[in-house]
Structure 1
Amino acid sequence: MSESTAAATAHSFDKILNQTRVGSKSRSSGEVDDPTKKLRRLILVEGIPSSVDPTLRPRIWKILLRVSDLPAETFIEYVARGPCEVREKIRNDTFRTLATDRGFKERVREDMLVRLLDAFVWRNHDKQESQQLGFTYVQGMNVLAAPFLYTMPSELEAFFCFSKFIEESCPLYVQPTLEGVHRGLKLLDRCLKIVDPELFAHLRSKNLSAEIYAFPSVLTLCACTPPLNQVLQLWDFLLAFGVHLNVLCVIAQLLLMRDDVMKSSSPMRLLRTFPDLDAVPVIGIAVTLVRDLPAELSSLLCCSRPVVKIL
C-alpha cells in the first residue's frame, strides 16, 4: 500500500469510527451496527494502516469488542490485591511470552503481563457465582494477552479488552480442559478433509491429526507464529469476523506450505514450526475456503458475522 493510499484508508477508517459510538445512549443498536459493518468490510478489503495512524488499531479493537466502559478504580482494586492464587503458574509462562520478539519485549515488560493476568483471575474470582463459566489462568492465556498489551495505549485498556475477549469471544478455549481448543482441532480436521482431501490423507497416513501439529496455533489464535505485526493484522480479521475463523487461517498456512508437506516423508518436521506468518494471503485463502465449506461447517466458523455476507 502506497503512502497516499494508506493515508486515504486511514481517513476512511477515521470517518467510520467517528460514526460509531458503541457507548452512546443516543444511538440505537441498528445505528451502531451499520458503521460497524462498514468497518469490517474496510478491514477485510484494505487492512488497518496502523503505520499511518497508530491510534486506529486500539480504537477499532475496542469497537469490535464493544469495550467502552473503562473503570480505572476497578482495575486498580484488582491490582492492589497482589498475587492471585495461581501466580506461580502465571510466572512459569510469562517470562517466555513472545521471547524472540524484540519489539514486543521493548514495549511489554513481564510485570505488565503478570499484573494483567493476576487482575483477570481476581475479576473472575469475584464473578464466579454470577456466571455460567468460571475462569482462572490456563496455559496459553499469556500469549493471548500479549497482543492486547502491545496494541493498547494503557494496561487499563488492555485489561478490559482482554477480559471481554476471553469471556465472550473464546470462553471455552481457556477452560481448564481447553474444551474449545479441542473442538477447534476436530473442526480443523473436518474442514481440511473437505477442502484438501489429498493433503488430509497424506497427514493421516503419517498418523498426524490437527491435535498433534496444530495445537499451538489453535490455542493461541496463531499468536505463537511470528512476526507480531502479522499476528496483529490477522487478529484484525478475527476480531472483525469471529475468532473461530482461525481454524481456516491455520489450514491456509498448511496450504501455503502444501508442496513441501506432500513431498516430505516426515511432515511433522516441517509442521513443528510453521513458516513466518504472512497475514494477507492467509486471510485471502481463509475467505475463499469459507465459501467452499458446507453450510453446517461455515456456520460453526463464522458465528453471527459471516464474512461471505460482507463481501
Structure 2
Amino acid sequence: MITINTINFNERYRLVTRSDFDGLVCAMILKELDILDEIKFVHPKDIQDKIIDITGRDILTNLPYDDRALLVFDHHNSEKLRNKELLNAENYIIDGNAPSAARVVYSYFIKEHKAKLDRISDELMREVDKADSAMYNENEILNPTRWTLLNFIMDARTGLGRFRNFRISNYDLMMKLIDFCLENNNIDDILELPDVKERVDLYFEQQELFKKQLNKIAKANKKVLVLDYRNEDIIYAGNRFLCYSIYPDIEISINVVKGKNNNIAIMIGKSIINRNSAFDIGQCCLSYGGGGHKNAGTCQVSANEADKVLAEIIEKINNN
C-alpha cells in the first residue's frame, strides 16, 4: 500500500475527476492539504480509452484505474472486478464499501492531516456520501432542497447544460465553489450565489416538462423501466431519480441516449424507492465494456448493437 509520504507536500498535483458533487469535495480536500494545482474534469470512458494524457503528477478520483497516475482513489466495485491483478498496486486506493470517492480520499488523509482538514465538515462528508450513494427518500426526490438540490444541479445527468449559456461555465462554477464552500459551508448561502441560483431556477422551470416527457417515453417491463430517448429531439433537464417516484414498483431503470461516435449510451440504475434488487449493475456493465458499482453503471455500445444489448440486459435483470 502506498503511504502518504509518497506525496511531496511541497509540490502541487493535478486532480482528475468527474464534474459533480463528489468531485467538488475531493477538490476541497486536496485544496486544504495545499497540494492542489489544477483540476481536469473528465468522463470515465475517456480514462478507460486512454484518451486523457495522465502523468505522475495526477491524482485521480472516482475514475477507472490508470497506472500512469500518482494516486487513484475509487469506490466502484466493478473496478475491483476489472482490476483484480492491480488491487495491490501501490498507487491504487479503492474501497468498494465506501459510499463516495470523497470518503476514500478523506479517510486516506485524515489520520495524519486532521488539523488541515478542519474545514471539511462532518455535515459536508455526510451529504456527499448521501449524494454519491443516492440515499434519498421520495420527498427529497420530488422537492429537493439544500445539499440535495445542489447535488442535482451539479450532476451532468440532470442535463441543465443543454439549455442555456450560463454566465460562467460549469468548470468555472466548480472552481468558484471550491473556495466558497471552504470559506462558507452554509448551504443556504451557497444556493443564493448568482451562478448557482441561475441553474436552480432553470431546474425548476423544466421540472414539469421533464415529468411529461418521462411519462411519454417510459416503458415498464416487469422489474425494469426503460426510458428510451433516442427518438426525442429535446431531452428536458430533470432529476434522474424522479422515475422511481412515478413508478414505485420497478426495481431498475435503464436510460438509453445517443452518445458520441454513433454509439448509444445505456445508463442503468437501481430504484432508490424499491430497494429489493440484488442485481449487480456494475458487473453487468463491465461485460459490455462499461462499469459502475452494484447500484448503478453505464456502458456504450454501437448503434447497430444497442437493441440487442438492451434486450439482453433486460432479460438478465428480470431473470435475476
Q: Which has the higher strand share?
A: 2
More helix by percentage: 1
- With CA pairs under 8 Å and 6+ residues apart, which has the higher RCO, 1 or 2? 1
The TM-score, its normalising length taken from structure 2, stands at 0.25
Give the TM-score taking structure 1 as reference length. 0.26
